[in-house]
Every structure is written in structure tokens, then in C-alpha cells.
A and B are shown apart, each in its own frame.
With several copies, the nearest count.
Chain A
């Protein structure tokens, strides 16, 4: 049986629905010794800001039950060196790169997007709105529907690339956030980013992470992520990209059945650098087992009664 795994994730078609998640796969090259990058639908690179950012002091990560917290502080080389030094690798081997961008003001988001305009090898922009809006006193763009919409509109105005907007789960109503960014013109919606958490070192009586709090990722958050993807997919028209604790093909299928057109694999790549490729083959095995010719038949096939 010939199976079709390619999906349209909003203005761009990728050969299979599996990407790596931003911040968990470096710039791709780091994983080349351990996995076949060409097996992937796309690689979403570490979040890019206008200027390089040093990130937070250490400890930056701590393990939690079936998960981990990270407070990397969005350390990155900055958009310019990314284009010069990091992007060529993925472009040369022919793997679509998705640029994850962030800023502390609408202007900064816009400036990063502008800089990416016309860069060969970039298939789409993913906007990370889980970022403090310094102009609004640190309130996150990702928790306020209006700020989120504004960011999306600003980026859309300066780019010809498809735009994916990545939602934060730290909100009361994820549907409201999704509708706001859809209204702002996003071509697709990805979720979830990490859930804010803390681990206390009871001997030192201070947080383990130097930053105090960090973002929870990994299998622990999967049920929350699946629920939110299901909620969002049921209210928006644009494609939804699901993530949160995906370790294998079966986990990815939960998201796809719940309504995700594609998925991203994050923390799993730390444990097994070949995880994303294994997710691809896991999905294919499932499709063969159930005689599903086109992955799109599965998207949102969940029976809610």
C-alpha cells in the first residue's frame, strides 16, 4: 500500500507531519551523527531574537517526574549569525527549516521577521508568544489575546513566509488565544509551549533553577497538551500543530487524532536523538496496520460523544 504522509501546515507542505520542537534540536546539525535529518518533515530551530541573548545562569534544567523544567532564558546567537552560520547546513541537505522567533516588543518581533524575509531554506516562521512584553510591564504576549493578535498582525505584515503561532498553555482559555491569533492572520497554530513550574531544593531552601521558575516539558504534560490541541482544533480553521511529551509514534497519533495536522517532538530528542525519525516510522506502521492511505484521514478523527 502506498501511504501518503505529506501535510499542508498552512501555506507550506511538508513530506510528513513530524518536526522537531524549537529549543530541543539545536540548529539541526548537532543531531546529524545520531539521526537521519532527511527523515523529518521539518526542523524548527532554537528561538531567535534580534540580538544575541546570553540566557540565564545555571542550573538551567532539572528533572521532574516524567518531565523536566528548563529556564534557558532563550539564549541564542541572534537572527543574523543564524542566517550566516547555522541555516546553510539545513538548506544544503534539503531539510525545511522553520525559524522560531521572539521579542520583547512588537517591534522586535517585526524586525526579526523582516530580517528573515527572502532567506533561502526557511519554510515558515514560528512565532513564540510566550515572552514577556516589556512595554506592557512584563505581561506575557502569550496570555493576552489582544497582544498576541497584535504580534501576529505585525509579523504577517512584513513577511511573505507562512506564519505559525505557538501558544502558551498557561492560560485559562486556550481557545480564546487561538481565535485571537487566527483573527490576526496566522497560517497555523502550534501548541503547547511549556507549563510554568518550580522545584525547590529542600536542603538549600531555594529553587533548584537559578531563575526560580522554569518551563515543564516531557511526558508529564502530554495529557494537558492533547486536551488543548483538541480544544483548539475544534474552534479554528487553520491547521494545528501539536506537541507536548511526544516520545513515540503512538503519542503523536493521540495528537493527530485529536485534531493536529502535524506534530513537534521536543524533550524526547534529549533522551533519544533519533526520536523524531522514530515517530515518523511509528506513524507509518499505524497507518499500515489500519489501512489508512492518507494521514489527513486521521487528522481530527476523534469521536467525542
Chain B
């Protein structure tokens, strides 16, 4: 747990913000997340989880801060969007297991949907040779990709309504990206809405491409203690079992997930 301070809190759209937070602990790996306390009182009570979007470093490469990319969806993120510079925020993390590091000779493709961009942006920054595909519903949702472009990343962009980049779905771009590649040489890392992760996983399974997905779930603790963030996994000798997004994930190999038993709603 650390007392962080808001360095900046920049609006990318009316609903999307990039927040810089002072932070000097362990270097977060791509795919790890932090839990922020929104209020010192009891409403909102629980911390909110956010992926690490990028790291802020001093001239010696020491981590001096992190950024998080977030969308206003409810009370907690609404309050966050009103934080000014200098606001003290209690930060717990980095937590969870990130994306596995690419191996020699591996082609890394990152597939982000909407706010799923957050952890994959850090992945793309740490492993610049990876290819970043980004999809969004519409132009407003797509506005977050500017934050990646500012880091010099060159993502391929699709939107469902064609208002930004090509019109289509990330799976379209992913299929084209894989053309001519040996499926066995490729690893896909994906983060975004459950429906998208399901589609990407199904397609990649069909094509024989190893795929990791970063999941979200309601979290009370982020520490593996409340057992709230259970996700149905295959395993346990085929009987199925629950694993935990916060402590076993948030990144899972897509074939470990029991997709049939997951509702897309959450």
C-alpha cells in the first residue's frame, strides 16, 4: 500500500481519462493492476482495480509513477474524474500476474477492445516489436487510442461504426495480421469486453494460435482473500474449477477458461 498523488488527470473524451500517479514501488509488469481507494470514507467502500497503462520514469530509468487509463462508468470513476492535481490516493499494487514475456522468435500480437487497451499499451511499450490491434464501438470509445499514439505506437484501428480507422471488428484485423504467419510462431494477448475475448479465443483456437486473455471481474480485495472474483476454468482433471482473476490472473491462457460457463454480461 502506498500513498500516491495525482500528477495529472487528463480528459481524452467526456468519459475517458488518463491519470498520472506518483509511485515508487516494484516495477509493474504489463498486465498487472493496481487497486485505488476512491474515498477516505465508506462510500464508495471498496477499492477499484485498474490496469497499468504506462510507467513514468526518471532519467535513470527508475519508476517514479504510473498512468492509468479509465472510463467513467459509475460512482467511483465519476469521483476519480473530478480529482485534481495533488489529490492523495491510496494505491495497492502492483497485483496479479501479467502477460507472459515473449520468447525468442515469437510473434506477439496484442488485441485490445475499448478500455482493454490499458494493459496492452504497457505490453506494447515494453515489447515494441509486438503488433497492436485496437477496436472500439465508436469514435468516442476510440479516442483513447490517441494516448497510445502519443507514445509513438502505431496501432491498427477498427471501429464498429467506421468512425475511426477501418469499419469492422478486431477479429477482422487479427485474421489479416495472421495471414502468411505460422500459427505456432504467434502468441496473441488480448484484453477487452468478454464477448470480444470469447470471439478472439474461439478464432485463435480454430487457427491453432496460443492466446492469453486478461479478464475483469467484480473485485472486493484484489488479494485472493475474498474469493469474489472467481472465474470458471477447465482443469481439475476435466471437472472444472474456480480460479481467481486477482491472484491467478488477470491473465489466463484462453484454453484454461471454461467459456461455456461464463456470462458475457460481466
Contact = CB atoms under 8 A, between A and B. Distances in A.
Interface of A: 23-26, 30-31, 34, 46, 54-55, 57-63, 65-68, 70, 72, 75, 204, 210, 218-220, 247, 267, 269-274
Interface string B43-54: 111110000000
Contacts of A60: 218, 227-230
A26 B230 contact: no
B190 to A, nearest CB: 20
Best-buried of B41, B45, B46 by chain A (most CB within 10 Å): B45
A57 B232 contact: yes
24 contacts: A24-B221, A24-B226, A34-B223, A54-B241, A57-B230, A58-B231, A59-B228, A60-B230, A61-B219, A61-B229, A63-B44, A63-B45, A67-B42, A67-B45, A72-B226, A75-B230, A204-B265, A219-B43, A220-B42, A270-B46, A270-B47, A270-B221, A272-B37, A273-B221
Nearest to B75: A63
A61 B218 contact: yes
Contacts of B232: 57-58
A61 B220 contact: yes
A68 B46 contact: yes
Nearest to A203: B265
Nearest to A26: B225
Given A54-B242, A70-B220, A61 B45 contact: no
A72 to B, nearest CB: 5
Nearest to A35: B1
Contact of A219 (B45, B225, B247, B261): B45
Nearest to A209: B218
B226 A23 contact: yes
Interface in B215-266: 217-232, 241-242, 247, 261, 263, 265-266
B92 interface: yes
Best-buried of A25, A55, A61, A210 by chain B (most CB within 10 Å): A61
B266 A58 contact: yes
Best-buried of B43, B220, B261 by chain A (most CB within 10 Å): B220
Contacts of B241: 54
For the complex of A and B, list the 3 residue pairs with the smallest distance between their C-beta atoms, beginning with the closest: A61-B228, A270-B221, A66-B42
A271 B226 contact: no
Interface string B166-194: 00000000000000000000000000000
Contacts of A30: 223-225, 247
B43 A31 contact: no
Contacts of B227: 23, 46, 55, 60, 72, 75
Nearest to A56: B230
A271 B223 contact: no
A62 B217 CA distance: 11
B43 A66 contact: yes
Contact of A59 (B223, B225, B266): B266
B213 to A, nearest CB: 16
B18 to A, nearest CB: 25
B226 to A, nearest CB: 6
A61 B224 contact: no
Contact of B1 (A55, A62, A272): A272
Contacts of B92: 34, 273
B229 A271 contact: no
Given A75-B230, A204-B265, A273-B92, A63 B223 contact: no
